[in-house]
Chains A and B, each alone.
Chain A
Amino acid sequence: MKGLLIKDLRLMKNMGNSLAIILLVAVGMSFYSSDMSFIVVYMAIIGTSFTSSTISYDEFDNGNAFLFSLPVSRKDYVLEKYLFAILMCGGGWLLGSVISIAVGTARSGLDPMEGMMTALVLLPVAVCLNVLLVPLRLKFEAEKSRIAQIVIMGGIFLVVIAGTKIAERLGIDLEALGERVPVMSAGMGIVVALGVCIALLLLSCHISIRIMERKEF
Chain B
Amino acid sequence: MLKIENLHKSYGSFQLDCSMEVLQGRVTGLVGQNGAGKSTTFKAVLGLIRPDGGRIELLGKDGSRFGAKDKQKLGVVLSNAGFSGYLTIKDIVPVMDSLYARFDRAFFLEQVRRFGLPDSQKIKEFSTGMKAKLKVLTAISHRAQLLILDEPTAGLDVVARDELLELLRAFMEQDEDRGILISSHISGDLETLCDDIYMIHAGKIILHEDTDVLLDDYAVLKVDEEQYRTIDKRYILRSRKESFGYSCLTNQKRFYSENYPKVAILKGSIDEVIMMMIRGEAL
Contacts and interface: CB of A to CB of B under 8 A. Distances in A.
Given A69-B71, A71-B100, A57 B48 contact: no
22 contacts: A3-B94, A3-B96, A7-B87, A7-B95, A10-B94, A11-B87, A14-B88, A14-B122, A58-B84, A61-B82, A61-B85, A62-B78, A63-B81, A65-B43, A65-B78, A66-B82, A69-B148, A71-B70, A72-B68, A216-B43, A216-B50, A217-B49
Contact of A66 (B49, B69, B78, B94): B78
A69 B76 contact: yes
B68 A66 contact: no
Best-buried of B47, B49, B82, B95 by chain A (most CB within 10 Å): B95
Interface residues of B, number: 34
B46 interface: yes
B84 A63 contact: yes
B81 A71 contact: no
Nearest to B42: A69
A70 B84 CA distance: 13
A76 B148 CA distance: 22
Chain A interface, DSSP helix/strand/loop, else mixed: helix
* Interface size range of chain A in the complex: 20 to 34
A58 B87 CA distance: 11
Contact of B98 (A3, A13, A65): A3
B243 interface: no
Interface of B: 43, 46-50, 67-72, 74, 76, 78, 80-88, 91, 94-100, 122, 148
Contacts of B148: 69
Contacts of B94: 3, 6, 10
A60 interface: yes
Interface string A1-32: 01110110011011000000000000000000
